[in-house]
């Protein structure tokens, strides 16, 4: 497991190229912070007006399982809450390598079950959405819900999700944003073992799941120059084979994290597509 100064150095570098590009909204009002388990809390964004019970989105930040926070997602979540007239809950989950799998997934599951039990939320109109590692956690949450027969999700929105630890094994083509070296670091931190090893749970790496039947309708968006392109396209294909309604949004030439570029028309259109998919799932 990565330790010490190397972890700090890697976090500082990665924070400059992805997750930290989304700055928290200073002075944002109306954000409720709630403790949902002894190890996890959430930031709750409510829309102005509307009726109850409301639809809801559980938002899971990215960061390769090793960095990021719910507070950095304030702007995204507030806009989503207003656009969808929904409750949007961003979860702060424990990060690797200090807290390897299943810590992050357990925290996200605690947040989801807390959200589904809220009296102001319709438990049948909840979408789980995540970015990068958050997309991987969202996919894993759906698997866990199906297996446990717990929350009946309305849909999944997976933005260039980090699904398959085996992508970090062997040689990979150079990539912008999130590199093969970053990917190996993230997976090894999260798994506390070498990626590609035998016996890794599908709850840790959802692409390892062989049976995808029964999962909720899913939207996957990824760029053709993203390191995760192949694993995401294959996951979408397998979902369709399993009978899961699936939409795959491919962005030509886009690299991992391309949508954090300020003023990018391509980024805006990508975010609109994601929002439209979530709106359709919520009904």
How many whole angstroms separate alpha carbon 177 and alpha carbon 175? Answer: 7
From the candidates 45, 61, 99, 256, which is the catalytic residue? 256
64 with 182: CB under 8 angstroms?
yes
How many whole angstroms separate alpha carbon 147 and alpha carbon 152? Answer: 11
How many whole angstroms separate alpha carbon 228 and alpha carbon 194? Answer: 18
144 with 203: CB under 8 angstroms?
yes
From the candidates 132, 164, 182, 229, which is the catalytic residue? 132
> The tokens 């190890």 sit on which residue?
39
What does DSSP assign to residue 216? P
Task: Count the Cβ atoms, other than its own, within 10 Å of residue 226.
Answer: 24
Nearest by Cα to 76 from 115, 21, 17, 37? 21
From the candidates 106, 226, 232, 259, which is the catalytic residue? 226
Is 256 catalytic? The answer is: yes
Q: What residues are labeled active site?
A: 132, 226, 256
């Amino acid at each position: 497991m990565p330790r010490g100064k190397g972890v700090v150095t890697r976090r500082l570098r990665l924070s400059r190229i992805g997750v930290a590009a989304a700055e928290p909204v200073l002075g944002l009002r109306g954000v409720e912070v709630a403790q949902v388990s002894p190890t996890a809390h959430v930031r709750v964004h409510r829309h102005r007006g509307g009726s109850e019970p409301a639809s809801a989105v559980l938002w899971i930040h990215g960061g390769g399982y090793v960095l990021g926070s719910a507070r950095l997602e304030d702007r995204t979540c507030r806009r989503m809450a207003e656009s969808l007239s929904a409750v949007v809950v961003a979860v702060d989950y424990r990060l690797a390598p200090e807290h390897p799998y299943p810590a992050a997934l357990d925290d996200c599951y605690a947040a989801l079950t807390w959200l589904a039990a809220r009296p102001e939320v319709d438990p049948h109109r909840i979408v789980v959405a995540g970015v990068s590692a958050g997309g991987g956690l969202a996919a894993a949450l759906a698997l866990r819900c199906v297996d446990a027969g717990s929350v009946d999700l309305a849909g999944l929105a997976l933005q260039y999700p980090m699904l398959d630890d085996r992508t970090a094994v062997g040689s990979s083509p150079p990539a912008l944003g999130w590199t093969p070296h970053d990917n190996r670091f993230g997976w090894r931190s999260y798994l506390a073992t070498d990626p590609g090893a035998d016996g890794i749970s599908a709850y840790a790496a959802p692409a390892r799941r062989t049976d995808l039947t029964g999962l909720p309708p899913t939207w996957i968006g990824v760029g053709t120059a993203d390191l995760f392109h192949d694993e995401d396209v294959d996951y979408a294909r397998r979902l369709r084979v399993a009978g899961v309604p699936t939409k795959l949004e491919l962005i030509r030439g886009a690299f991992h994290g391309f949508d954090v570029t300020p003023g990018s028309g391509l980024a805006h259109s990508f975010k609109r597509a994601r929002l439209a998919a979530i709106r359709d799932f919520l009904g």
